[in-house]
Copies of this chain bind each other. A is one copy, B any other.
Amino acid sequence: MNSLPQGSRPNPLFLRDEEIRQGIELLFFAYRDFTSDADAVLARHGMGRAHHRAIHFIGRRPGMTVNELLSILRITKQSLSRVLSQLVTEGLVAQTQGTRDRRQRLLSLTDDGKELERQLSGLQRARVTRAYREAGAEAVAGFRAVLIGLIDETDRETVLATVDKD
């Protein structure tokens, strides 16, 4: 955009590469600030981002199994286990035995968990809302389209099914 030397005849290949690199950096900076929002709240509760991610997805998909959560987060069960048992111990997440398959432990937020989720997502929602409002509806559509394109083709369907819940 405003990176073009005025009046020059830019090499289209260079332009493309420069445009791409700018996108990569914007993604870095936006994500850096975006994730920083919840940290203060988390620190007060003695938790980290891993807890936030678990709380977020359990909140959005109550009744999800441990396996489903694992494949969304793309971490090992050993890693999740630490986080999850902490959340259960502190009364933020409840586990109920699966009905169809009694080996499963269906995950859901307790009232305390919902309250924390609301606190945690508050700042992030405010940030995204502000950015959406400033950029306008068309920009939002483009934003979404590019993000979807950035996701691995193999699990784009799965992700969209998760994002557009039911």
Query: Are the CB atoms of B140 and A3 closer together than 8 Å?
Result: no
Nearest B residue to A159 by beta-carbon distance? B29
Count of identical protomers in the assembly: 2
Partner pick for A138 among B22, B138, B164, CB 8 A cutoff = B138
| Residues of A134-165 whose CB lies within 8 A of B | 134-136, 138-152, 159, 162-165
Number of residues on chain A facing chain B (CB within 8 A)? 58
Asked, given contacts A23-B128, A142-B135, whether A30 binds B147 with beta carbons under 8 Å apart, the answer is yes
Stretch at the interface among A81-89, A94-102, A105-113, A119-127: A119-127
Q: 3 closest Cβ contacts across the A-B interface?
A: A142-B142, A131-B149, A139-B142
